[in-house]
Structure formats: C-alpha cells, structure tokens
Structure 1
C-alpha cells in the first residue's frame, strides 16, 4: 500500500459512507477508488449492489457492512477502527455525494501537519463549506479565544464529510455517538474533542460543496434558512439537539443559541410541510424523546 507524506510516515486512509447510492453516485465511487492511491474504506449502510461491492474490492477498496443501516455514527466508527487496524495515522471521512480530490486530501494533510505542536493539539481539520447549487452550506461557528493560524480557523465543529481526523486523538476522545444515528454526530464529537483538550480547525484554503437535503427552506420574516429534509431527519435533528443540552461538554452559549433557534426551525419546517398535524406531532414527539433520552434509530426511518 502506498504511503503518504504524513509527519510519522504512516498513511492516510479514505473512509466513505454510502446509503442507497444511485447510479451516478456508484460511478463516482468507482472513479474515486480508481484514482486514489490511499487505502479506501467503504461502509455500506444499505443499498450498495453486491456486484459493485465486489468491483470495489477487486480494485483494492475495503468494503464493510453490518447487513443493515446502523446510522452514520456507527459507520464512521467502523471506518475509523478499520483505518487504525490498517496502520493509518489519519482518516479522511466522506459521504457518497462528496466531490473531494486527492490533491485536496493532501492539502488537509499539510494543514494538519502545520498544527503539530500547537496547543491545543488538533483532532480534526476540514475544508471550508460551500453550498452546492440549490443547497445550503453548513455554518461552522468560530471557536472563541483561540487565534487563527494563517488560513486555519478554529471552529466549534465541522461536518464529518470532508474532515481529516487524527486517529490518535480519536482514540483519546472516544467514538462517534452511534445512538445519535444520523444528525448531530459531528457536532457532539467536536464539542467533546474541545472538552478533551483538542482542537477542530477549518482550512479556508480548500472547499467542499455540501448537498445536504433536497433544496432550501427560507423565511424572510424569521430571517432563517435551513435544508429541506425528510421528516425523520428533522425529527432526529430536534431529538439529538435537545438531548445534547444535558451533556456537560456542550457549551452553554451553544445551548442558548439552540434554545432560541430550534423552535423557529421547527415552525419553518412545519409551515413548509403545509401545517399538517401529523408532522407537528412527530416533531413534538422527537423533542420529548430528546428530553427523555430515547435515542437510537429515529421513528419513520425508511
């Protein structure tokens, strides 16, 4: 297996999660595996045809599956553990929609190398988020009281897709929360990283377009916009956000921001769904689940 130019000479692994990929996504996955000299680990959360898994394996990829959808947190942990077993020092996490070139991976490697010896030490470095056409890019709030390092900006959290995770830091911070299943996994882990004395950094010199949801819901009156998501995903987002308020490593400033913002998001989502009573009932049930700590696969999961 080819090695990279990481400071300790161990390789970077590429981890890709897939779920019901369409033909274009499968073709892009094939092309990435063919073009990438680094070890590629694919976790199939369901829907990857057996012949495509065999094709990827024959071209050097490691294809993993639990035989069912275990959520993004469980998939990321399986990838991280496989990368550690392969001797990797870092793992670059991607979803099936991410268009991220090998040169961009190298740019994040160099960014992580520049942070070596910094205080706090880096746990993860990710690209600047851009919005794909018709989509909304995530917002990464600046981490207060930590100075920037050139093009590297300290942020509260990063989306996992596009993030280069230091696996030694991962081993100390702990796994991603599999019980969150799909939403808020990255946010919770990054807040935990900061609480453990590690930093999360955005490299503004490289960008990744994000394709979350199916369009954007906007309200000029409320002054907010959000991705248009399936109901089960919005419910999971509300549930996990509310549950996270009880976690001691989630800063009070973030809890206060969410307490003001979540009701507006829920109202906007409900309005976009035509004010249907069943939608409101599921959103309210998700909030109650968060308060009660009932996590795991969200209700209505396809």
Structure 2
C-alpha cells in the first residue's frame, strides 16, 4: 500500500540520451504513489520512449535541446510547486533508489523540522559502485545534528529530497553553472539563508560519477582519486569552481581547500589524457573563464542527437 505522505511529494527525473533500461526505470516509478512523476528531457529522448512515459502517466517537460542540469531541475521544481507539492525527490536517469527511499527521507525531514532545525534538503548516504568514485559530503561545522542525520556542506541532487518552501526562499539552481557544481553552490546558498542540508546515514543510494576513476600516478594507496569525465565536463567543473571563489556565501575554508586541490585535479586530468597540449589549453581556458565570470553552456558541449 503506498505511503499516504507520498501524495504531497513529486518525483523529478532528469533525462539525457537515456537508454532503454533508464526509460524502464522512469516508467516503473510512475506506479509508486507519488503525487506526480515529472521528467525533463534534456535531449536525445526517442519519440517512442516519450510516448511510453506519457502512457505511464509521467509528465514530460522539454525544450527540445540541452538546457543543462540546473535549468532542468528548476523547471521540474516549478512544475512540482504548481502541482501543489510540498516536497520534491530528485533522481537522475541512472539512479536505482531503494524502495523505501522517499519514506525514509520524508521521515528524516519531519524529524529535523520537529527539532526546530530548518532544512532545505535531505539525502541518502552515497553507496560505492564498482569502478566509480562515490561523492563525499564534507560535514558542516557547528551545525546541529539529529540522531543519524548529519549536517553536510552539500549533497548530490540525485537522491535528495527538496523542501519546496525552502527552495522558494533559497532560490533556483544556477542555470549559468549548467551542470557541474550546481548542488554545491545551491547548498552553500541554502546554509547562508538559514536552511540546512543533511545526509540520512541510515539509507544509501549508489552513485555513479563519471566514466571510471583517475588515480594519482595510477596508485590507489595514495588516496587521490577523481572521476574520469569528458573534457567539456572537466572544463565546466573547473570553471564553476574557480568562479565560486567570488561568491560570498561559499565559506573561506572551502575556497582555500579548492585553491590547493583544483590544480592537482587539473594536473591529474591532463596526465590521464597523455599530456595532450589541447587538453591543457582547454583547462587553462576554463580557469580563465571562471575568473572572468564567463559562464553558461560550454562551447564544446556535445550536440544533441535528433
């Protein structure tokens, strides 16, 4: 029997060139008892798959082109708010959430609110996936804890439950960030607005970041591991991270840590590319664009398939 609390919760799924199994997962979610399931097609969704989603009761949003993950999430949040939802559970097309995820996160949100702790988002702990680097959520210093609910600097959007009242006050995800660092900037902004981001340690979801991992000199024991990403993704990540140094709501400690870590990441990425000069030039241009505030869709963004 569906949890009655789900009737005020919308499930939002972002799609980009989804495979058949990914569409199957989205279709399966339509029968879970949510107030609505809203999917945003950021490009590459086949006409037949769009028809399948519609027949299953999924509300499909699209502009017929890739608007970036931030704008897709904003469109989903706007549609959820218009539908009268109180909360929004976000998933990407690769997510394989446990059956009890929504109920567990709703319970976590209720416990935080019952303790008088304003909350913007609560998400599951990241579970490791073979061959991929799971995201790490740094703890938020001096923020209150509640049982197994830990305050963290930021959460991945996929798997997170967003309080839509808090979202309205914090503001939308930065569409000019396009894809990388979107959740990081938004969560820092939420903390600055007085709303927390919490990880529920009792529930976990697998995360797949990138297409494998890059290790420092290929040696696992050094402990320096980063996702292997396409060049446009690495460039956008680097650009947005550099730009974030200009934002007053990003903590100074985080900026200093990034100032030390970003050159190392860029160096590892360049080494993994075989020291190709074109890769180095792309990364340097990305850092320049971040310093100058040149944001928006990356120029080398792959074109959508028809």
How far 1:22 sits from its partner (Å)?
1.4
| Structure 2 unmatched ranges of 5 or more | none
Query: Is the 8 Å Cα contact of residues 4 and 12 (structure 1) preserved in structure 2?
Result: no
Normalised to the residue count of structure 2, the TM-score between the two structures is 0.94
Residue 259 of structure 1 pairs with residue 259 of structure 2: yes
Shift of 1:36: 4.8
- The corresponding residue for 1:187 is 184
Structure 2 counterpart of 1:57: 54
Kept in 2: contact 1:36–1:102 (CA 8 A): no
**Aligned equivalents of 2:33, 2:278: Cα separation in 1:** 46
- With 265-274 and 43-52 compared, the bigger mean Cα shift is at 43-52
Per-residue deviation, 1:55: 1.6
- Residue 233 of structure 2 corresponds to which residue in structure 1? 233
- 3-state DSSP of counterpart to 2:14: strand
- The residue correspondences of 1:131-280 to structure 2 (distance < 5 A) are 131-219=128-216, 220=219, 223-280=223-280
Q: 1:39-97 CA deviation, whole Å, 9 max, x = no partner?
A: 10000000111221122112211100011100000000000000000110000011000
1:123 maps onto 2:123 in alignment = no
Aligned CA distance change for structure 1 residues 14 and 105 (closer, same or farther; 3 Å): same
- The C-alpha deviation readout for 1:140-171, integer Å capped at 9, x for no partner, is 00000123211100000000000000000000
| TM-score, reference length from structure 1 | 0.95
Distance 1:265 1:193 in 2: 27
Contact 1:3 1:11 in 2 (8 A): no
Deviation at 1:132, TM superposition (A): 1.3
Give, in whole Å, the separation in 2 of the partners of 1:231 and 1:68.
Answer: 20
**How big is each residue's C-alpha offset from its partner over 1:10-60, in whole Å with a ceiling of 9 and x where there is no partner?**
610000000001122122222222445441000000011122112211221
Structure 1: give runs of 5+ residues left out of the alignment: none
> Counterparts of 2:166 and 2:93 in 1: how far apart (Å)?
25
2: CA distance between counterparts of 1:292 and 1:120?
37
Instruction: Give the structure 2 partner of residue 283 of structure 1.
Output: 283
Q: Which moved more, 1:203-212 or 1:55-64?
A: 55-64
Instruction: Tell me the equivalent position of 1:77.
Output: 74
Question: Are the counterparts in 2 of residues 11 and 38 from structure 1 also a CA contact under 8 Å?
Answer: yes
1:5 aligns to 2:5 (yes or no): yes
- Whether the 8 Å CA contact 2:187–2:197 is kept in 1: the answer is yes
RMSD: 1.5
Q: Separation in 2 of the partners of 1:246 and 1:178?
A: 17
Specify the alignment match of 1:86 in structure 2.
83
CA offsets per residue over residues 196-224 of structure 1, 9 Å max, x none?
Answer: 00000000000011111111111148641
